[in-house]
Homo-oligomer: A and B are copies of this chain.
Amino acid sequence: MRGNTIIATESQLGRTKNDGVISRPSLMKELIARGIRITTQRRLLVQIIQDSPRHLDAAKLLEIAKERDAGIDRSTVYRTIGLLKGQGLIDELDLMHLEGEKHYYEAKTNRDHCHLACFRCGAIIEYASPAFEKLKDEMAKRGDFAIRVVRLEAGGFCRRCRKAAHSEPA
């Protein structure tokens, strides 16, 4: 079963005393706090994004939304994504374009993290570590650059798929 499964959140691996577990603040609360108009459609879409255990692309998001509001339109999905992105409340991912040119979205977490995408099985491993934080700081300082969004993605092969490729040579 290919595609977009989060195998593990690796934040624990990089944990030091001050590292927390990855958490996602409420998008709705944020929107309200910022005085942004809450429409039926936005409430629905935000809820779906917030609650989804996997990374959704625009088409999938629309599909799910239509189950609860058949009338909702593609353009509203894109506009809402644009809104959330503009507010810095969601991150946009490519996941190494494992399947097509989709973009995936996830509610912004309290800690930035990387995504490792397996070319064979499509699994997505999330990985956060202090080394990433250090690198960001270094880039900002030495590149003299005010970073607003960072995206680190890697493509390759997960442990399971390396083993599988060994035992049953393609």
B residues within 8 A CB of A156? Answer: 140, 145-149
- Tell whether A154 is near chain B: CB-to-CB under 8 Å: yes
* Min distance, Cβ A120 to any Cβ of chain B, angstroms: 10
| A135 interface neighbour in B119, B135, B153, Cβ under 8 Å | B135
Scoring A13, A145, A157 by chain B CB atoms within 10 A of each residue's CB, the highest score goes to: A145
State whether A146 touches B139 (Cβ < 8 A).
no
Segment 98-152 of A: residues with Cβ below 8 Å from B: 101, 114, 116, 118-119, 125, 127, 129, 131-132, 134-136, 138-140, 142-152
B residues within 8 A CB of A150? Answer: 152-155
Please, how many angstroms separate the alpha-carbon atoms of A151 and B97 in the complex? Answer: 12
State whether B94 touches A142 (Cβ < 8 A).
no
- Tell whether A162 is near chain B: CB-to-CB under 8 Å: yes
- Tell whether A34 is near chain B: CB-to-CB under 8 Å: no
State whether B148 touches A151 (Cβ < 8 A).
no
State whether A154 touches B159 (Cβ < 8 A).
no
Return the CB mask of A6-46 against B: 1 if under 8 Å, else 0: 00001001100000000000000000000000000000000
A residues contacting B by CB (< 8 A) are 10, 13-14, 92, 94, 96-97, 101, 114, 116, 118-119, 125, 127, 129, 131-132, 134-136, 138-140, 142-159, 162
